[in-house]
Amino acid sequence: MLLDFFSIVHPAFLSFSASQTSLPLFLLTAFEDEPELNSPADARISLLEENENLQLFLIIAGLLFLILLFLVAVYYQKYKKTLRLYESKRVEYHRLMIGSTEPSAELVRLQEALNSERAKVVKHEVQKKELLAYIEELKASQASTEIRHKTIQISRILADQKTEDIAKKVEKTAKILYPELVAEVQERYPQLNQIEMQYCMMLALDYNLDEIISILGRSEKAIKSLRYRIRKKMELDEQKSLPDFIQELKQYITHIQ
């Protein structure tokens, strides 16, 4: 009865009561609609997720770098192996060319031709000496001035005769058999002239003094003077002989190639 009374006296009372029961639902709905980022806990969670993503990226990048480094190391090892094989093949080829007990047919031919030329030079030198001796006898036995004059001219021609072609063949052979040695001597001692280089190459080819005299067409005294000039240009010690030095240099160059 009181409720009816208040509803009559105050008709808005009932509507106020109904709105009063719906107020808490409205407030909850308002709070639920607020964004989650407004919560400090949610912000910390988001930051942690970003850090985890960054760490994952760094880990993946590090793994890729290690894989790349491994591939580079493998390639470098293969390259070094290939280079060693190339050097081994080159040394083997060089050994077969100049140091093998079974040299190639071309080298055998060159060596035989060289030995043949050496024999020809020695034979030629003997014949020349015999001819010069005969001319000297002829000069002494002839009273004719004209004949004496002719024999003197012949003597001079024979004395000045040189075996330049053979010397060039010897030099060419030395360059084929020992190219590194020739290049080394030329690089170390650029002041050596052609005949001095030829003399050094003859020493490398084991020519003896008589053969060198015959090939170069010089006297023994002239060869000694030539050897002295070479030693001076090379600045060799007095205890070191030029033939020994050339042979040692040849062995050293052959060994390191």
Question: How high is the pLDDT of residue 250?
Answer: 87
Task: Answer whether residue 17 shows pLDDT above 70.
Answer: no
Burial class from Cβ neighbours inside 10 Å (0-12, 13-18, 19+) for residue 166 reads buried
pLDDT digits (tens, 9 = 90+) for 54-104: 888 888 877 776 776 676 666 556 655 654 554 455 455 455 555 554 556
Q: Residue 193: left (phi > 0), alpha (psi -120 to 50), or beta?
A: beta
Q: Write the DSSP symbol of residue 38.
A: G
Q: Is the pTM of this model over 0.85?
A: no
Name the CA radius of gyration of the chain, rounded.
Answer: 52
Phi-psi label, residue 218: left if phi above 0, alpha if psi -120 to 50, beta otherwise: beta
| pLDDT at position 2 | 43
Least confident of 88-97, 128-137, 163-172: 88-97
Give residue 139's pLDDT band: very low, low, confident or very high (50, 70, 90).
low
The mean pLDDT value for 181-190 works out to: 92
Residue with the bigger pLDDT between 223 and 257: it is 223
* Better-scored residue on pLDDT, 45 or 140: 45
pLDDT beyond 90 at 13: no
The per-residue DSSP string of 193-217 comes to -HHHHHHHHHHHTT--HHHHHHHHT
pLDDT given at position 59: 86
Nearest one of 111, 128, 110, 115 to 213, comparing CA atoms:
128
Spatial CA neighbour of 157 closest among 132, 137, 174: 132
pLDDT at position 126 is: 66
Q: Which of 254, 253, 243, 257 is nearest to 201 (CA)?
A: 243
What local confidence, expressed as pLDDT, does residue 219 receive?
86
CB 110 within 8 A of CB 173: yes
Q: What is the pLDDT of residue 63?
A: 78
More confident residue, 144 or 247: 247
Res 78: pLDDT = 61
pLDDT of residue 193: 92
- The structure tokens listed for 157 are 């021609």
Distance CA 75, CA 65 (A): 15
